[in-house]
């Protein structure tokens, strides 16, 4: 992207009230650190189309990279506790980001943290689930022994 094109985008963001454009094309963010994307809004659509797949395609082979997947059966209380802890982790990430602002850019790295948590089963395992037995099906009921001849 050329510098004039970049400045045009910065001006558009300033008009939207998202940033304040400063001298030498520096910016000041005017939205809070923990803003929420509009569901199906332009930023979420961009993230879904480009960033998410690119982020997850990584081999996560770097010294400090981490990709893990855990699955299990949890109670509602345990699910609520995981939710609380994930939100606390995101708040800590945001807090560290703010704390690191004064550190020179050369000593900081763009870092991504993707948090996803929901009830889910991998569809490929669906075929291996036990089938529920229908106890009301007449074909599976024992025949009555009170039959007349």
Residue 9 located in a structural domain: yes
Residue 94 forms part of a structural domain: no
Judge whether 140 lies within some domain. no
pLDDT tens-digit map of 64-90: 999 998 999 999 999 999 999 999 999
In a domain, 48, yes or no: no
Q: Is residue 81 part of a domain?
A: no
What confidence tens digit (pLDDT) does each residue in 4-62 have? Answer: 888 898 898 888 888 898 888 888 888 776 667 788 888 888 888 888 888 888 889 88
108 in any annotated domain? no
- Cα-to-chain-centroid distance, residue 149: 69
Domain that holds residue 16: 1-31
* Number of domains, the chain: 1
5 is a domain residue = yes
């Amino acid at each position: 992207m050329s510098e004039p094109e970049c400045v045009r985008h910065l001006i558009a963001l300033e008009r939207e009230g998202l940033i304040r454009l400063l001298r030498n094309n520096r910016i000041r963010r005017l939205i809070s650190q923990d803003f929420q994307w509009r569901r199906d809004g332009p930023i979420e659509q961009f993230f879904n189309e480009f960033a998410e797949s690119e982020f997850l395609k990584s081999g996560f082979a770097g010294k400090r990279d981490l990709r893990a997947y855990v699955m299990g059966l949890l109670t509602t209380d345990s699910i609520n506790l995981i939710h609380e802890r994930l939100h606390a982790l995101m708040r800590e990430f945001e807090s560290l980001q703010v704390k690191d602002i004064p550190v020179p850019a050369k000593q900081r790295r763009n870092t991504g943290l993707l948090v996803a948590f929901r009830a889910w089963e991998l569809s490929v395992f669906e075929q291996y689930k036990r089938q529920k037995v229908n106890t009301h099906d007449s074909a599976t009921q024992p025949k009555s022994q009170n039959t007349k001849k």
